[in-house]
Structure 1
Amino acid sequence: MTTLVSERPVTRATRPLAAVLAAVGIPTFMVALDNLVVSTALPVIRTELHASIADLQWFVNAYTLPFAAFLLTAAALGDRLGRRRMFLGGIIVFTLASAAAALATEAWQLTTARAVQGLGGAAITPLALTLLARAVPPRLRNAAVGIWGGITGLGVAVGPVVGGAVVDGLHWSWIFWLNVPVGVLAVVLAATALDESRGDGRRLDPLGLVLSAGGMLLLVWGVVDGPEHGWTSGRVPAMLGTGVALLAAFVLWQARNRTPMLPLHLFRSRGFSLVNVVTLTFSAGAFGSVFLLAQFFQVVQGLSPLQSGLRTLPWTAAPMVVAPLAGLLAGRIGQRTLIVAGQVFLAAGLLWMALRLSVTASYPSLIGAFILAGIGMGLTFAPVSTMVLASVDTDAQGVASGTNNTIREFGVAAGVAALSSIFSSLGGFGSLDAFIDGTRPAVLTGSAILAVGAVVALWLPRRA
């Protein structure tokens, strides 16, 4: 059996906290940035690559699908093969795929490169948090996770602005070229500032890998395709049904397997089970609403993508400031209090936006709602991550982080699909009034989903 890497105080003393945060934060920043940066650059890419509407959708979905489907698989491989080794591999794959995306001259080439980017991102996101938790002493862990959450928030904040700047004049390929030198720096930092660690050394579970990855891929793919192809067509129900069947088979196999990839006993922890429910409602309600609200300034008010991105900064930049503070306060007032407050602020912010949206709505009338929603997101990121890690044994932190991130990414896809379906059913892009008629009930639904998450969060343990 493989010997676990212990947390040695001497090692921590020789690793400056700033270096560790940079080693895990820079790659996470790249992944977070690429989640949003492409959306505002799609018009330029469409013109240069002569892409169809379907191509544009796959430029986004080709990244999201493998990212969500292989998070749990990457975490399991990291526990077996070495977390730092898998983390470095993810950075290298992501960087090379970014260069390939920048060099793309046809739509299918960009779609393929984006899919490989998603695979690299799946190895980065869950292992970054586990490596950070192993690299810092317990007394600094809440603060370190908070700072890491702020770095992630920065990627979310500048994504629309960077994408808007590209659309307004820069060549779209620079969205991806910028990742190359950053990726090289990230590899050097991770190799020098992080120590190797593994899980409990159990054998790999290849059947579990296939069932979980295949089930997540088909389920997310079906949710994404639902609004376009129809929920009752042969293709979408077949994908959703097969995805559910594969995930059910995965759960049954994990219950019977002596060395499961996902130990089901993790869900005996009330904190771990409930925090994952909150993660699902949070990502579905918040990011499903963001998908529609980000288009409001362009579609209704006729602003450029860059101007629109700048106007969303009160929302997207707030987590960068609030998340580190939440990490510092978690030890004093408890993660549950912060998570509940975050969901309430988010739900209230979206409700405010939905009620104020109109063709003649002024920007000052929405700033308060944007700030309130941004504070809510900032209060959520760090405490949720901390509770996920603290709710399980140290050896299971990698797979726990992977599970939580998988649920979050699925929530994003499901939220975008569900709220977009409401938007299309009750409104659309036919006129300014039609856009408002579709967006308002969709955002109200997002607010209701977040309110459900706030109620669930009341049953979380105050401190994991």
Structure 2
Amino acid sequence: MPLVVAILASFIAFLDGSIVNVALASIEDEFGGGLAGQQWIVDAYLLALGALILLAGAISDRVGRVRSLRIGLVVFGFASLICAVAPGVGWLIAARFLQGAGGALLVPSSLALINSTYVGPVRSKAIGSWTGWTSVAFVLGPLVGGVLVDYIGWRWVFAVNLLPVVVTLTLMRALRDPAPSVPGRLDIIGAALVALGLGGIVFALIEQPRLGWASPLLWSTLIVGAALIVAFLVRQGRVPNPLLPLSLLRARNFAAGNATTAAVYAAVGLGIWIITLFLLEVIQLPATIAGLATLPVAVASILFARLFGALSGRYGPRFFMAIGPIIAASGFACMLTASVQFNFWTQLLPGIVLYGFGLTITVAPLTAAVLGAVPSAQSGIGSAVNNAIARVAGLIAVAIAGPIIGNQLDIDGFHRLVLTTAGLLAVGGIVAAVGIRNTSHRAVEASQAAQCSDRPVPGAALVATGDTNP
């Protein structure tokens, strides 16, 4: 039951991160707003998710995983209802931010629930199942959204969230929280610094095509945003209960895994968004057909994610984290053949299939490597850091689309964004190949035993830094 609840809770958050993509054209037809409005509808959700997920991870460690999940589901469901009845684009963007706040509580708490419930190879398989289904949610979103937009209306893209929210809350009635694992006060000031800092940077990137690089408003928000992020990092090294414990970065696999996460998930966020928008606005396909285009990614994840999670647990994550992004990058490189004489079957489908297979190879080993480097007592904040980096990377990637392509998407702009996506994936593979170290089962189990018994175990320190190399 804990695995089912964890998958359902995260599935909801990931589904909403992508389901809205196919509704953007219909929303613009009703509300207006142009490319910037479409970016804000996507990024308001990602901004709240990325900015608040560290705070949510700290809350999960203090009040319990199950309680955090319940709060997140209620907030997410309420915000989804507001989105569904929004009278204008401003209301919709505000409600999307609230949705992101609810989602921020769902993702780290669900992963922490898995990390604290399962151990050893069973944990790797559980994480494989979790990553498989959450990856399916992210890619299945455009398909589900396309059907809803074409046959019912775009507002149902948000209203449909209420059903899985109710189902998950019902299943959670059988779960109980253990005693909170981490004492101490929450760093509210740190949370405000990172939220305002990210907001300033994202505002500057999204509004650049409208304001221009010479705008004082653009540069002031960009500089202030960057300064606030620096202030946040400085503060995390000084407060007794930081949202981002900098000590975690001393674990090699945690640091290298999060660097890989930044590159790969920037590509994931940008790639799915640009494929969907290209098919909708340049090729002008119906929303349902545009959503079907990314179905091979979901199929690959369903079929192979658990397998690669198990293989990672057996042989170590490094090989899979290195080769997976390179295969995914080659998929996007294939999409450079797209032209005005467009043929989906030859110009896009082969690349999407390669991308989906490469992503499936990558995700479960990546998640397992990062969580395996974190003590169980800090699994909430550890998963929150990893997910914050993933969401912020996707947020920034979508935000930079405007400066790359200008105010309007065309074939040349699609090529530039496809090349950018391929480059990000390749960087992720290289970082993993250089930075990740494999860990043996016996060393991992010894480390976990030490965490449970509070007695030192020889070799456990090596696991914490990811430096045990069989």
**With structure 1 as the length reference, what TM-score do the two structures score?**
0.88
Q: 2:360 aligned with 1:360, yes or no?
A: no
Matching residue of 2:198 = 216
Consecutive unaligned residues of structure 1, counting only runs of 5 or more, are: 1-18, 430-434
**Are 2:16 and 2:141, in contact at CA under 8 Å, matched by a contact in 1?**
yes
CA deviation map 1:108-130 (0-9, x unaligned)? 33222222111100111111101
**Are 1:285 and 1:447, in contact at CA under 8 Å, matched by a contact in 2?**
yes
Q: Distance in 1 between matches of 2:280 and 2:158?
A: 24
Q: Distance in 1 between matches of 2:214 and 2:314?
A: 50
Alignment CA distance shift 1:334-1:197 (3 Å): farther
Q: Deviation at 1:208?
A: 2.4
> What SS does structure 1 have at the residue aligned with 2:237?
helix
The partner residue of 2:87 within 87, 105, 110 is 105
Q: 2:131 aligned with 1:149, yes or no?
A: yes
**Are 1:68 and 1:217, in contact at CA under 8 Å, matched by a contact in 2?**
no
Matching residue of 1:452 = 427
Alignment CA distance shift 1:21-1:368 (3 Å): same
Q: Distance in 1 between matches of 2:208 and 2:53?
A: 23
Amino acid of the structure 2 residue aligned with 1:289: G
Q: Deviation at 1:92?
A: 0.8
Amino acid of the structure 2 residue aligned with 1:219: I
Q: Mapping of 1:387-406 within 5 angstroms?
A: 387-406=369-388
Alignment CA distance shift 1:197-1:26 (3 Å): farther
Amino acid of the structure 1 residue aligned with 2:411: I
Matching residue of 1:93 = 75
Q: Distance in 1 between matches of 2:390 and 2:228?
A: 19
CA deviation map 1:220-241 (0-9, x unaligned)? 3433333443344222322222
Q: 2:16 aligned with 1:40, yes or no?
A: no
State the Cα RMSD in Å.
2.1
Matching residue of 1:461 = 437
The partner residue of 2:313 within 310, 331, 334 is 331
**Are 2:18 and 2:139, in contact at CA under 8 Å, matched by a contact in 1?**
no
**Are 2:121 and 2:310, in contact at CA under 8 Å, matched by a contact in 1?**
no
Q: Distance in 2 between matches of 1:396 and 1:343?
A: 28
Q: Deviation at 1:306?
A: 0.9
> What SS does structure 1 have at the residue aligned with 2:284?
coil
Q: Deviation at 1:266?
A: 0.8
Q: Mapping of 1:208-287 within 5 angstroms?
A: 208-287=190-269
Q: Distance in 2 between matches of 1:373 and 1:103?
A: 36
Q: Distance in 2 between matches of 1:461 and 1:232?
A: 45
Q: Deviation at 1:437?
A: 1.7
The partner residue of 2:107 within 104, 121, 125 is 125
**Percent identity of the aligned residues?**
34
Question: How many residues of Structure 1 are paired with residues of Structure 2 in the alignment?
Answer: 437
Consecutive unaligned residues of structure 2, counting only runs of 5 or more, are: 440-465
Matching residue of 2:301 = 319
CA deviation map 1:113-154 (0-9, x unaligned)? 222111100111111101111122333101100101111122
Alignment CA distance shift 1:418-1:172 (3 Å): closer
Q: Distance in 1 between matches of 2:212 and 2:273?
A: 20
Q: Distance in 2 between matches of 1:441 and 1:282?
A: 17
Q: Distance in 1 between matches of 2:395 and 2:191?
A: 21
CA deviation map 1:322-378 (0-9, x unaligned)? 222211111222111111111111111111111x21122422213222111001111
Q: Distance in 1 between matches of 2:109 and 2:212?
A: 36
**Are 1:280 and 1:407, in contact at CA under 8 Å, matched by a contact in 2?**
yes
Q: Deviation at 1:216?
A: 3.0
Q: Distance in 2 between matches of 1:188 and 1:106?
A: 33
Q: Distance in 1 between matches of 2:419 and 2:38?
A: 27
Q: Distance in 2 between matches of 1:129 and 1:206?
A: 23
Amino acid of the structure 2 residue aligned with 1:438: G
330-339 or 198-207: which moved more? 198-207
Q: Distance in 2 between matches of 1:288 and 1:212?
A: 22
Q: Distance in 1 between matches of 2:402 and 2:316?
A: 35
Q: Distance in 2 between matches of 1:45 and 1:446?
A: 26
**Are 1:199 and 1:398, in contact at CA under 8 Å, matched by a contact in 2?**
no
> What SS does structure 2 have at the residue aligned with 1:458?
helix
**With structure 2 as the length reference, what TM-score do the two structures score?**
0.87
